[in-house]
Amino acid sequence: MDDILRDDPMDTLRLLDSTAPITHVDFGIPAAVLAEMTHRCPLQCPYCSNPVELERSSAELTTEEWKKVMTELAELGVLQFHFSGGEPTVRKDIVELVRHARAVGLYTNLITSAVMLTEAKVKELADAGLDHAQVSFQGAESGVADRIAGFKDAHKKKLQAAKWLKDAGLPLTVNAVMHRQNLHQLPDIIEMAVSLGASRLEVANVQYYGWALKNRAALMPTVEQLDATTKLVEESRERLKGKLVIDYVIPDYYAERPKKCMGGWGRQFFNISPSGKVLPCHAAESITGLEFDSVRGNKSIAWIWQNSDAFQKYRGTGWMPEPCKSCDFREIDWGGCRCQAFALTGDAGNTDPACHLSPLHDKIFKLAQTEAATDVREFKYRNYANATPKGGEAN
Amino acid sequence: MLGTAEAMTDERPPLTEASRPVLPRYARLHYDKVRQRHVLLVPERVLVPDDTAIEILQLCDGKRTIGDIVDLLAAKYVADRDLIGGDVIVMLEDLRGRDFLVVVEGD
Ligand code: SF4
Ligand code: SF4
């Protein structure tokens, strides 16, 4: 009875075989699925990871459609269901959907901006069986936070809602997306997470595609800011051991090698858009020319995951150009982020320029430094008015 | 109902045979039909307990004490009670250290 509890990362549940040729591998269904319940959101974060073509509420899956999706996912072996968005609590059926997710055995996580929560709603969600909540914060105090969120009193409302969630017995994760205009508040954000009784803090530097790409000059941190942040995170992790877990995502413009985006395209992750499209990444729709299958069609989710063009196109290593093709890291970072490669090179099939071996890396690195040195402060806020109309060109 | 779970603090007393452990609402033991194994669902993670751990966790109902659980296992496996007792406590402490287990106060 020595090895009493084996603590496996979710990867082991995905039953992957990374060495076999890609077309013959049955990809185990991911253990967790992210569902964008809606693109509607009262906040207007300029770094929002939603596509710049926001889906309208009339296109959203109905209550019954979402229930069917959840039931199908649970039968396939998905274990955790993340209610995301947009703002998932905009949907009037959110409590009913949480209840259904629980009834079919899914572990439920609400990823929320929390500004629409009331004490009664929190209680209803908890009673429906919600397992975990993640609340996003834009800063450590109203001045900075509300301006970034583009929403009056957002910060105050979030603090209140976080307390209600804790009081309801839910474990809390604080999500903080960091950039040049709020990095100086990270020390206070860490203290805030502790005093809210959060068990986890996610410190994520902005990733630049979608809305964040439009706002890059206003968001890009300096190298000095980043170095200080990394140091602060390391010190805080040590100091708060056993109290607060801190996850940290660095911005890869300044990295040597790109991140293993989504654990590799089509390997460990998919998400479902408000209208039911099954996507290899929440930003995948920013890549023009890819076609995505929908849960509304006549194909099963398992079939879409295993076989659909969008998943197959960049799965594994077969699609890779040089320098990835002959690189020892190709099955470690899987060539980086496809959405970033598309955003920066115009071709999603290129090496992610975040990699120092990409011919574009130096240019990108310099661009980041130049933008970080600007004093651009204004945001292009994320809202339907600033969104690209369906079928329109990105600008 | 299960009674009140103790507040989570850093200086909580160690688990003893009198403690009544229970999984908190956000740590769920779940039988995964597809992979044909029990998993422990917690925020952002899926833990894969071995058979013994599963058996122990199934006995953690907030009513049984650790002593009760050890008695049951010792009888079932005709094994040395002290040895089992030590192992059970180590396993449960590990989970409690990560806030995936709480103890119920009072009787
Ligand atoms: S990032 Fe901000 S704007 Fe985008 S969905 Fe989240 S809260 Fe809303
Ligand atoms: S060349 Fe490609 S595989 Fe190699 S480190 Fe760079 S991105 Fe990763």
A174 to chain B, minimum CA–CA distance in Å? 12
pLDDT digits (tens, 9 = 90+) for B58-100: 999 999 999 999 999 999 988 889 989 999 999 999 999 888 9
**Nearest-5° Cα angle at A73, A72 to A74:** 95
In a domain, B34, yes or no: yes
- Flag whether B4 is in a domain: no
Tokens of B69: 């659980």
User: Over pLDDT 70: what percentage of chain A?
Assistant: 91
Structural domain for B65, as ranges: 18-98
- Is ipTM beyond 0.90? no
The atom of ligand 1 lying closest to the CA of A86 is 5
Instruction: Report if residue B73 sits inside a domain.
Output: yes
Domain tally for chain B? 1
Residue of B39, B49, B84 with shortest CB distance to A79: B39
Check whether A243 has a pLDDT greater than 60.
Answer: yes
Tell me how far CA of residue A265 lies from CA of A33, A261, A272, A313, in angstroms.
Answer: 14, 7, 15, 9
Query: Quick check: B30 and A79 CB within 8 A?
Result: yes
A125 C-beta neighbours (distance < 10 Å), count? 25
Quote the pLDDT of residue A288. 87
Instruction: Report if residue B69 sits inside a domain.
Output: yes
How do B37-42 and B28-32 pair as beta strands?
A: antiparallel
- A-chain CB neighbours of B87 within 8 Å are 1-2, 4
Atom of ligand 2 nearest to the CA of A334: 3
Strand A107-112, strand A132-137: pairing: parallel
pLDDT given for residue A250 in this prediction: 76
Whether A4 and B50 lie within 8 Å, measured CB to CB: yes
> What pLDDT score does B107 carry?
58
- Among chain B residues, CA nearest to A4: B53
A5–B91 C-beta distance less than 8 A: yes
Of A3, A5, A79, nearest to B41 by CB-CB distance is: A79
Cα–Cα distances in angstroms (integers) from residue A58 to residues A27, A61, A138, A317, A325, in the given order: 33, 9, 29, 38, 43
What is the β-pairing status of strands B20-22 and B28-32?
Answer: unpaired
Least confident of A15-19, A22-26, A230-234, A369-373: A15-19
Overall average pLDDT of the A33-50 stretch: 93
What angle in degrees, to the nearest 10, is found between the helix axes of A119-127 and A94-103?
A: 20
Interchain CB contact of A10 with B (< 8 Å): yes
Strand partners, A34: A82, A271
For residue A139, pLDDT over 50 is answered with yes
What integer is the mean pLDDT of B54-61? 95
Q: Is A57:A102 a contact under the CB 8 Å cutoff?
A: no
Ligand 2: which residue has its CA nearest to atom 8? A335
pLDDT in tens, A52-62: 888 899 999 99
Q: Is the pLDDT of residue A19 over 70?
A: no
User: Is residue B53 less than 8 Å (CB to CB) from chain A?
Assistant: yes
Chain B interface includes A268 (CB < 8 A): no
Distance CA B41, CA A264 (A): 23
Q: Is residue B36 part of a domain?
A: yes
The nearest CA of chain B is from the CA of A207 a distance in Å of 21
Check residue A385 and give its pLDDT: 86
Closest alpha carbon within chain B to A134? B43
Residue nearest atom 2 in ligand 2 by C-alpha distance: A324
Q: Give the CATH number of the domain where residue B75 resides.
A: 1.10.10.1150
pLDDT single digits (tens) B31-41? 998 888 999 99
| Residue ranges lining ligand 1, Cβ < 6 Å | A 41, 43-45, 48, 50, 85-87, 113, 136, 382
Query: Has residue B72 been placed in a domain?
Result: yes
The answer to whether residue B71 is domain-embedded is: yes
Residues 54-83 of B with CB under 8 A from A: none
Please give, rounded to a whole number of angstroms, the shortest distance from the CA of A199 to a CA of chain B.
Answer: 9
* Amino acid code (one letter) for B80: D
Considering the domain boundaries, does residue B3 fall inside one? no
* Ligand minimally distant from the alpha carbon of residue A215: 1
Give the pLDDT score at A389: 65
For residues B13 and B72, which has the higher predicted lDDT (pLDDT)? B72
